[in-house]
Amino acid sequence: MKIIMLGAPGAGKGTYAKKLKGKYNLTHISTGDLLREAIVQKTPTGLKAKELMDKGELVPDEMIRDLLKEKLDKIETGIILDGFPRTIEQAEMLKEIAEIDAVLKFDVEKETVLRRLANRITCKDCGEIFHTISIKPEVEGICDKCQGELYQREDDKEETILNRLKTYKEKTAPLEDFYKNLGILKNINANLDMSDPKITVVEECQEILDEIENKL
Ligand code: AMP
């Protein structure tokens, strides 16, 4: 099974990808995480990417293609793509190498994004996502999963968030029509907070993935 998580920054793509991957044996591929790893390792790609990421701009398509190719070659399970594709060019490139079963589009309002990202804290080691208000770690500043240090991403500062939203609207939002035309876009209301007991977002995603799994 091959799934794309699509949606503005802060829509919950990474959080839901992590919640879904186990049940369907999917490898979670986040291009943002791959780039952050490259930055930590100070590779030439990482050094070039950092400046653009800190400003809320996209990195060049070729850079993403090279990073992904290396990763995809090694994977033998289904995949859940998070943060890729982000441009029509990337979607065209993906079409050449993989047949996508569904695109889960997380619909979210600007106010929700601003509130979520301004309070988001991420594990430096494993990338697990927490929130200072709605998904608190058991011990402040420490990841529940791996005990790594939690930090606020440089690009989760308000000024950068606004630019990331602008970039999404200009470059990534056109993918909604691209995948709608292919008949594989599934809209999901992702405005509720992840700690809300009424939340059904994960179940809504599972219904879609169950249907795909039954057809495979
Ligand atoms: P994310 O972790 O998905 O929010 O990505 C963080 C940043 O990494 C983005 O704001 C971009 O600068 C860069 N990035 C991640 N994925 C891509 C992609 N597919 N194409 C271009 N830039 C990307």
Q: Shortest CA distance to 86 belongs to which of 165, 208, 174?
A: 174
Domains of the chain: 2-109+172-215 (3.40.50.300)
CA of 135 to the centre of ligand 1 (A): 23
Q: Is the predicted pLDDT of residue 194 greater than 70, yes or no? A: no
Q: Is the CB of 116 under 6 A from ligand 1?
A: no
Q: Shortest CA distance to 51 belongs to which of 168, 167, 160?
A: 160
Q: Give the lowest-confidence range in 52-56, 67-71, 161-165, 171-175.
A: 67-71
Q: Annotated catalytic sites, by residue? A: 13, 86, 120, 153, 164
CA of 116 to the centre of ligand 1 (A): 17
* Nearest 10 degrees: Cα torsion 131, 107, 98, 58: -70
**pTM of the complete model:** 0.91
The whole-number pLDDT of residue 101 equals 97
